[in-house]
Every structure is written in C-alpha cells, then in structure tokens.
Amino acid sequence: MLGFGKKEEKKPKYNGWDIQNRLFWTEGWGSMALAILAALTIRWLLLEAYVIPSGSMFPSLLKNDHIFVNKMTYGIRAPFSEKWMVKFREPERGEVIVFKYPKEMSTFFIKRIVGVPGDKVKFENGVLFINDKPQEKVVPQSSRDFDFLREDDFKSEGGYQDTKANYVHFTENLESANGRTVSHSILMRKGDILGFPGDGEWVVPEDSLFVMGDNRYNSHDSRFWGFVPQKNLLGKASFIWLTCDEMLPVISMICNPLTIRWTRLFNTVQQ
C-alpha cells in the first residue's frame, strides 16, 4: 500500500546577487567583499607589512626581514591621502620609520630618526652630533648583534663583495627629545674615514625629519638627499614577523622556508 507523505516545500532559489539574503553575506560575494574591506581597513588604519630590501639598517634590520609597521602611532590619515585626519603625537629621535622617499614617492624607505624640527645635526668623522652634543658610542659587551651577520650580507647591490672584517659594531646612545636614551646597534667602517661624502651639518626645518641608516657608511639617507617631510611618514616599525637568508628563486617575494632565521622571529625593532 502506497503512503502519502507531506508534500515537500520547495526552497526559493538563492540569487547570488541578492544582498537582502543572509547567504549573500555569509557564503556569497558579500562575504568576500567584507573580507577585502577588513583587510584594506587594517592596512590603512592599523598594520602594514614590508620587506627590508637592503643592508642599510644593519645590524638592527637585515635584508629579507619581514616587518609590521604600526600605522596608528602618530595619527590617522585620510585614505589614499597624505593629510592627517587626527594626529596623536610627533615622531621622536631614535624611532625607526617607514616613509615615502621624497625623490620618488612610489618608493618606500626605512631609516632611523636622528633629527626632529629645530635640531642641528652634524656627522663628522663617524661621530653624530645633535645640537652640538656628540652622541655616545660604546663597544657592546656582547657581540651577538653582530656575529650572526654573514659575509654574503656585505655584498652590495652592484655585486661588490665587501667583508665583515672591515666593520666594527657599536651601541649608540641616542638622546630623544623627551630625555629618553635610545640604545641601538650601528655599524661603522674601520680605517681612515676623513672626508667621507656623508659628512656635513644640517638644521632640520619645521614639519621635517632627518633620518639615517644604522649601517652608517652604506646608507642612502638624509645626508645625501635631504629631509623627510612629515607628510611622507607611513608609520613606525614594530616587529619582525618573518625573516630568511634567501627568497625563493621563482617567487622572489616569498621566503625560502629552508633558510628561515628562527631566532629573529617576533623580535621587536630596536628603538
């Protein structure tokens, strides 16, 4: 005997572009749009990832260090603009920043602030002076911030092979404007450095910064191309989330997992 069950109700067909349907926001195109919007908001407002392309910040930052930059440290900018919506505080000496290179705004640089508006900056024979006061340099008790550098790390972009033996490692005690001392590692070249092209004296104008690399004799910085307008500021370097000796040969933006520097993961940037 055949039984007669309840007639099954047909569910209305889901239209993939029906924004009033809950599935559009949980499983459809709406969920993808929300994910993209969240990622762009985080990048604009909170954090952005950058890869260190050169050795200008040795030994504080190494080539192929992947860092996160805090975008909210100094304030909030209008999206796709250099105008501040709100400013929280001014940049300080000793802080490591990412900024748009003044000579080519599509290029991003990372350097350390050594001069803020009104400062008199002088670099002479390897000594940094701030407002006529030499910044203290000491030989660190431990060389652990220098020993891990390899000979290959001293190869220039043009292929010239320098050697680690030509450099000496110091800790520089940079005085911040608020009286705080920022201790960070720097590299200096041994031997006669008189007449170095980067020697000079500058007074930092309003709304500008004077920046230098920690690898003092292998850094293209304010000594050569001038001041950084504060409107070019993108954020403050925060921590290393990934780092490796080599990138993959085919996909040059991805670390070779066999060469990851495990001991540097999640290290904060010296500042």
Provide the residue range defining the domain that includes 189: 22-264
Which CATH number is 55's domain given?
Answer: 2.10.109.10
Average pLDDT, the chain: 84
Residue 92: its pLDDT value, please? 95
Q: β-strand 133-134 against 136-138: which pairing, if any?
A: unpaired
| 102-115: pLDDT as tens digits | 999 999 999 999 99
Do 150 and 159 touch, CB atoms closer than 8 A? no
Positions in the chain whose pLDDT score sits under 70: 1-46, 156-161, 192-195
**Does residue 193 lie in a domain region?**
yes
Residue 2: its pLDDT value, please? 46
Distances (CA, A) of 17 to 14, 48, 166, 209: 9, 32, 64, 50
Q: How many domains does the chain have?
A: 1
**Does residue 173 lie in a domain region?**
yes
Residue 156: its pLDDT value, please? 61
**Does residue 185 lie in a domain region?**
yes
Residue 151: its pLDDT value, please? 82
* H-helix segments, 56-173: 144-147
**Does residue 132 lie in a domain region?**
yes
Task: Provide the whole-model pTM.
Answer: 0.82
**Does residue 17 lie in a domain region?**
no
**Does residue 168 lie in a domain region?**
yes
Q: Which residues are catalytic?
A: 56, 111
**Does residue 10 lie in a domain region?**
no
> SS3 of 150, please?
coil
**Does residue 190 lie in a domain region?**
yes
